[in-house]
Amino acid sequence: MIVDCALYRAGARIERPQDLSEALDAARARGDTFLWLGLYQPTPEELDLVARELKLHPLAVEDAIKAHQRPKLEQYEDSLFCVVKTLLYRKENTQLETGEVALFLGDGFAVTVRHGEANPLHDVRLRMEQQERDVLRHGPASVLYAVCDAIVDTYGEIVAEIEQDLEELEAAVFAPHRKNQAERIYLLKREVLEFRRAAVPLLSPMRQLAEGHVPGVAKGTRPFFRDVNDHLQRVVEAVESFDRLLGDILSANLAQVSVRQNDDLRKISAWVAIIAVPTMVAGIYGMNFEHMPELKLQYGYPLVLLLMLTVCAALYRWFKRSGWL
């Protein structure tokens, strides 16, 4: 589906072209103009049409149709192909949904192909048109910047959400009335690894862009990509430290849970031990010996009851002091 298509000249949107091929020729003739074509989950036919007009490389086009690529930046003879993973964090079930945006940059054009629900690019386009016209002047590479910037920003938001989840987990693990959090910890860790697989392979392309080593990307955009690279590095460092913390919290959870459970078991056993003592005393005075002088005492019964109570109280106090109760 073609979402939007427009020509940009010197940072300003000028028109929605009728014919792709003519528009491209016009853009190329002037030099300060480029075409930005936005597609959303296009059918192979739709993309083929565009690819033929813009002479995109067939392997890149194939990658743009099939989602599930890894993040990458590839240079073809006369164009650049870039894949970035988009992420959507569903907090209610600790689920990270991945989509992706594929970009083609070439002489006078930028094509964005989006898969999945995350990161609608319409907002990105609007923000560029309205607030960042200076950036748009840098040509097609500014589209690459805008898209990467928007996606890495959502990475940053997900980092914040996971940070919050992690804090909740910590509170739950160390709460006095704690439950076994192993499942929640594991699920979060799995999503963090998923996050890692989306973010880490993007580091190398982004560094290349930030260092200005990519032909076809205007030198003037370097500081912008450096900015994105910076954010991405912060994201990756955060993800790495989540990974390590979740490993540690899994150990801490095991310690907490087993401590709690042993506490319970110890307390129950201690009560059983306390009750065993009067039971034994009662057993003794239940014996049928003919000569048991205590049995004939007027106050034998209440005295024995008192004895039982005293022993139980003493045991209780002792166990309390030993930390067994």
Q: Applying CB under 8 A, which of residues 265, 309, 313, 314 lies at the interface with its own copies?
A: 265
In angstroms, the CA 127 to CA 3 distance is 16
Site for its own copies in 122-161 (CB under 8 A): none
Residue from 305, 314, 315 nearest 281 by CA: 305
Q: Applying CB under 8 A, which of residues 40, 196, 207, 212 lies at the interface with its own copies?
A: 196
Instruction: Decide whether 9 or 226 has the Cβ nearer to its own copies.
Output: 226
Interaction between residue 204 and its own copies (CB under 8 A): no
Q: Applying CB under 8 A, which of residues 292, 307, 309, 313 lies at the interface with its own copies?
A: 292
Site for its own copies in 164-183 (CB under 8 A): 170, 174, 177, 180, 182-183
Give residues with Cβ within 8 angstroms of 159, minimum separation 6: 235, 238, 239
Interaction between residue 280 and its own copies (CB under 8 A): yes
Output the smallest distance, CB 145 to its own copies, in A.
12
Output the smallest distance, CB 165 to its own copies, in A.
14
Residues 120 and 150: beta-carbon distance below 8 Å? no
Output the smallest distance, CB 220 to its own copies, in A.
11
Output the smallest distance, CB 80 to its own copies, in A.
14
Per DSSP, helices labelled H in the chain are 20-30, 44-54, 58-65, 121-131, 133-136, 140-174, 182-210, 222-285, 300-322
Phi, psi of 242 (to 5 degrees): -60, -45
| Residue whose entry in the numeric block shows the structure tokens 């996971």 | 162
Interaction between residue 203 and its own copies (CB under 8 A): no
Site for its own copies in 79-118 (CB under 8 A): none
Residues 191 and 242: beta-carbon distance below 8 Å? no
Output the smallest distance, CB 6 to its own copies, in A.
26
Output the smallest distance, CB 45 to its own copies, in A.
19
In angstroms, the CA 126 to CA 134 distance is 14
Residues 28 and 76: beta-carbon distance below 8 Å? no
| Residue whose entry in the numeric block shows the structure tokens 């003493």 | 314
Output the smallest distance, CB 30 to its own copies, in A.
28
Interaction between residue 263 and its own copies (CB under 8 A): yes
How many residues contact its own copies, by CB under 8 A?
A: 92
Instruction: Decide whether 12 or 175 has the Cβ nearer to its own copies.
Output: 175
Q: Applying CB under 8 A, which of residues 282, 307, 313, 314 lies at the interface with its own copies?
A: 282
Q: What single-letter amino acid sits at 199?
A: A
Q: Applying CB under 8 A, which of residues 13, 49, 186, 207 lies at the interface with its own copies?
A: 186
Interaction between residue 296 and its own copies (CB under 8 A): yes
Rg of the chain, C-alpha, whole Å: 35
Instruction: Decide whether 53 or 227 has the Cβ nearer to its own copies.
Output: 227
Residues 55 and 78: beta-carbon distance below 8 Å? yes
From residue 46 to residue 65, the character string flagging contacts with its own copies as x (rule: CB under 8 A) and all else as - is -----------x-x---x--
What angle is formed at CA 111 by the lines to CA 106 and CA 112, rounded to 5 degrees?
140
b/e code 10-40 from CB counts within 10 Å (16+ = b) = ebebeeebeebeebbebbeeeeebbbbbbbb
Site for its own copies in 223-262 (CB under 8 A): 223-224, 226-227, 230, 233-234, 237-238, 241, 244-259, 261-262
